[in-house]
């Protein structure tokens, strides 16, 4: 008997780099492609996935290019004065108000699981997203340490950005029984994360949370281990990757709307190419 979660979609985060996944998932919406049992997503990948499940084509693109490029979200001066660099609380709730979601999407179709990082243990937690916990989990998975001054709480326990502990949860998808994996990355193929150049600073900034500090110091190793899994999946696992092209010019905090629009179109094209390949494989099977 095949595992229940045989087909999984894994969506990486990456703040503004999420514009690529926004394009990929919009191409899926266009062709009504929801052939997954499980979606595992992180940070901006999780918010993109909510828009995808809600069948709101263009929603994530508008959030990133119109709301996330404003000073209300990204404000270095506010940060210098002790406030948020990126106000993800405002961004999430403003997008809920201006671009409403169909919350019944979370009880029908693929199961959405968002990754968050447990501040106290430093470990990854995988939270099933429901209409009841949607706001809490989305805020937690996107709350980049330092850039967002708060540590969101779920059931009175503090959490932070899921990408700190598990940026690309391919191994978790496999552990859950998925053997047919589609992975949407935020970096071009060939990227490898480099270790922190200032480990002492990380330890200082998170001296009250040493387990989280260690997770941040180990992050490059965990990230690159996920890339190794993708490059060399187990023999019983079929894995396909949708990644930005080498000329993808969007960084974590890119505010240039022309670059963001170009990144979106790259995602849209990559998603269409993926679906065309899926159709060819289905016909030849």
pLDDT tens readout for residues 251-282: 999 999 999 999 999 999 999 999 999 888 88
79 vs 141: CA distance, rounded Å? 20
Per-residue pLDDT at 134: 96
- Reported as a pLDDT band with limits 50, 70 and 90, residue 2 is very low
Is pLDDT larger for residue 109 or for residue 209? 209
Of 142, 129, 131, 41, the residue nearest 88 (C-alpha): 142
Averaged pLDDT for residues 238-248: 97
Of 271, 284, 276, the residue nearest 61 (C-alpha): 271
Averaged pLDDT for residues 66-82: 96
Residues 4-36 as b/e (b if ≥16 CB within 10 A, e otherwise) read ebbbbbbbbbbbbbbbbbbbbbbbbbeeebbeb
Residue 200 has pLDDT above 90, yes or no: yes
> What is the third-level CATH fold of 7-284?
Cytosolic phospholipase A2 catalytic domain (3.40.1090)
Q: What average pLDDT is seen over the chain? A: 94
Residue % of the chain over a pLDDT of 90:
91
Do 162 and 124 meet the contact criterion of CB atoms below 8 Å apart? yes
- Reported as a pLDDT band with limits 50, 70 and 90, residue 109 is confident
100 vs 215: CA distance, rounded Å? 35
* Residue 259 tokens, joined: 């670059």
Do 219 and 240 meet the contact criterion of CB atoms below 8 Å apart? no
CA 203 to chain centre: 25
Residue 52 has pLDDT above 50, yes or no: yes
- Residue in 37, 87, 161, 180 annotated catalytic: 161
Of 253, 256, 258, 250, the residue nearest 21 (C-alpha): 250
Angle at 116 between CA 27 and CA 230, to 5 degrees: 55
- Residue in 43, 49, 60, 167 annotated catalytic: 43
Q: Is 43 a catalytic residue?
A: yes
Per-residue pLDDT at 3: 42
- Indicate left, alpha or beta for 156 from its phi (over 0: left) and psi (-120 to 50: alpha): left
* Residue 196 tokens, joined: 């922190």
């Amino acid at each position: 008997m095949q595992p229940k979660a045989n087909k999984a979609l894994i969506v990486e985060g990456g703040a503004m780099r999420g514009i690529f996944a926004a394009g990929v998932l919009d191409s899926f919406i266009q062709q009504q492609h929801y052939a997954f049992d499980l979606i595992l997503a992180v940070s901006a990948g999780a918010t993109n996935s909510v828009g995808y499940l809600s069948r709101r084509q263009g929603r994530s693109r508008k959030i990133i290019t119109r709301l996330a490029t404003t000073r209300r979200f990204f404000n270095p001066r506010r940060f210098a004065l002790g406030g948020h660099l990126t106000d993800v609380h405002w961004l999430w709730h403003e997008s809920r108000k201006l671009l409403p979601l169909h919350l019944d999407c979370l009880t029908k179709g693929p199961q959405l699981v968002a990754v968050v990082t447990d501040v106290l243990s430093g470990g990854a937690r995988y939270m099933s997203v429901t209409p009841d916990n949607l706001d809490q989990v989305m805020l937690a998975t996107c709350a980049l340490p330092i850039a967002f001054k708060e540590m969101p709480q779920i059931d009175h326990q503090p959490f932070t950005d899921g990408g700190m502990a598990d940026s690309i949860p391919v191994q978790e998808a496999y552990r859950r029984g998925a053997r047919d994996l589609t992975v949407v990355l935020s970096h071009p193929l060939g990227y490898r994360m480099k270790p922190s150049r200032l480990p002492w600073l990380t330890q200082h900034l998170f001296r009250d949370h040493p387990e989280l500090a260690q997770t941040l110091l180990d992050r490059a190793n965990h990230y690159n281990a996920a890339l190794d899994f993708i490059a060399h999946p187990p023999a019983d696992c079929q894995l396909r990757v949708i990644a930005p092209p080498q000329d993808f010019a969007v960084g974590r905090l890119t505010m240039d709307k022309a670059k963001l629009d170009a990144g979106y179109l790259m995602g849209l094209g990559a998603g269409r190419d993926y679906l065309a390949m899926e159709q060819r494989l289905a016909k030849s099977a």
